[in-house]
Structure 1
Amino acid sequence: MKKSIVITCVIFAFLVSGFSIYSYMKEKNSYTGQTVVPEKRDDLPLYEGLEFQEHEYMLKGNHWYAVYEFYKEKLPENGWKLIHKQASLEASGGFMMSWEKDGTLDQWRLEYK
């Protein structure tokens, strides 16, 4: 009886630790190549509905102008400086903006197509 309880506890501990390691590695690898991760910063708001999927943020629907206005307003409030902006005013348009904070220590590029 004691032996089966010990074996059960060891198996459970192995499964829990394996899942923990897998989750950590999956999160670590998903942001590979990202120099700035909004979810890990207080000074970089994330537009509602944007989800990180395979090395980029995705949003369903054509909300480019709302996203553009959101970041144009919110990032300066958090100490970010706009260094480049390009936008299309067409209905199916898009934009590209580059921001920096603290000189060139933190840079974030936002592109919506």
Structure 2
Amino acid sequence: MNYIIISITRKQNDDFTSQKNYEDYTPEKYHCISVDDDIISSLNQNLSIMKTYFHTVKNQKYGLAYCGITIIPPESLAIFYETVTSSKFFRKSDELNELASKIVQAAAEQKYMIHYGV
């Protein structure tokens, strides 16, 4: 089973540098959670309209980088939350419930989230 790792990082107004590459995976630093790849894959179609950045904030894209690092800005968290909580797996998945809580926390604190793909 593959897992997708999600974390919360810097505030929108903090020194979130476009030069930084977020490829270094440090789960303790970013308080990461794991979500099964199959569950995240089921959300991909709905997430394809979510504005994101791949690897650095200089590389704007949409959706999640399956095998890479996705930076999710605060303005995209509402779409992310809606997609997660409307998933057919949401009621049965502790992972998705934990992810929804992380999204709420990030939105309240105006923080970016980082998705580390498989």
TM range (shorter): 0.3 to 0.5
TM-score normalized with structure 1 length: 0.34
Structure with larger Rg: 1
Q: TM-score by structure 2 length?
A: 0.33
More contact order relative to length (CA 8 Å, sep ≥ 6)? 2
